[in-house]
Amino acid sequence: MAEQLRLMAVHAHPDDESSKGAATTARYVAEGVEVLVATCTGGERGSVLNPKLDRPEIWANIAEIRRAEMDAARAILGVEQAWLGFVDSGLPEGDPLPPLPEGCFALQDLAVAAGPLVRLIREFRPHVITTYDEDGGYPHPDHIMTHKVSVAAFEAAGDPTRYPELGAPWQPLKLYYDIGFSHGKALALHGAMLAAGLESPYTERLEWLKERPDKGPRITTRVNCAEYFPVRDDALRAHATQVDPDGFWFQVPMEIQRQAWPTEDFELARSLVETDRPESDLFAGIRGTEHAR
């Protein structure tokens, strides 16, 4: 049987698939891998982060707009995409923090919340799943819940005694956590901007990172995908309500990005196949084996 590799990326909101691991997914799509993005919520409680679109009519239709933005980004990346159907929890702010809204994703019972993802895994049959680590990449309640649901579904999908009503068992072989920013990456980009005589947008971020553990030592897998950084940026801009086109994410020239840090980075959290570390391919240990079917 011909090799057909499949990758599933599990994200909390529409736009996360374009800001986290997007160049990697675009690279794999170009190589013929089937890629499915699973979006846990509709992003209904997201802010309008583009000042040019911060208008009452946008807020009034934010759920529909975010779905349309997701359609545009999906087409740019070339991925398939499925909604898991949960409601955005919002990002609580204040001191003390307000309670999360009733019925939101982060308050779901984990066994119940994992069900839709188990069903999707059994339908799509991914070899590899990517998601967030235990703090969600940053501590948004939906990101943390996405981590919990992804781990639970990874472990349950291959067990015929669990969720028997949700399809034939399928066991994914590898689970990765996206490591979006390590201290080393921020320092490399910051240094490259200064070396080019440009003002670095990372000055404040480096101060913020000093207060957080460095995830660099957790990186096991670096996927060279610099060729697809422009695709990533186009997909991110498609989420027009969620990103300022003149903002932080687009302040480092493309050539500097490609030279200073040409990879997207991941931590291999679970593996049912043997693989040597460090890796340069999410399908290491799968590609070219009997598993790749």
Phi, psi of 84 (to 5 degrees): -85, -15
Q: 177 - beta bridge partners?
A: 131, 267
Strand pairing category for 80-86 and 128-131: unpaired
C-alpha to C-alpha distance for 197 and 97, rounded to whole angstroms: 42
Fill in the DSSP letter of residue 265: E
Question: Per the annotation, does 143 bind a ligand?
Answer: yes
Contact between 62 and 44 (Cβ < 8 Å): yes
Q: Cis omega before residue 245 (within 30°)?
A: no
C-alpha to C-alpha distance for 14 and 38, rounded to whole angstroms: 10
30 Cβ partners below 8 Å, 6+ apart? 78, 228
Q: Which token pair is 205?
A: 């971020």
C-alpha to C-alpha distance for 137 and 33, rounded to whole angstroms: 25
> What are the helix (H) ranges across 108-260?
110-124, 141-156, 183-195, 203-210, 229-238, 254-260
Question: Per the annotation, does 13 bind a ligand?
Answer: yes
Q: 10 - beta bridge partners?
A: 38
C-alpha to C-alpha distance for 101 and 118, rounded to whole angstroms: 25
CB atoms < 10 A from the CB of 231, how many? 21
Q: Which residues are annotated as a binding site for Zn(2+)?
A: 13, 16, 143
Q: Which residues are annotated as a binding site?
A: 13, 16, 143
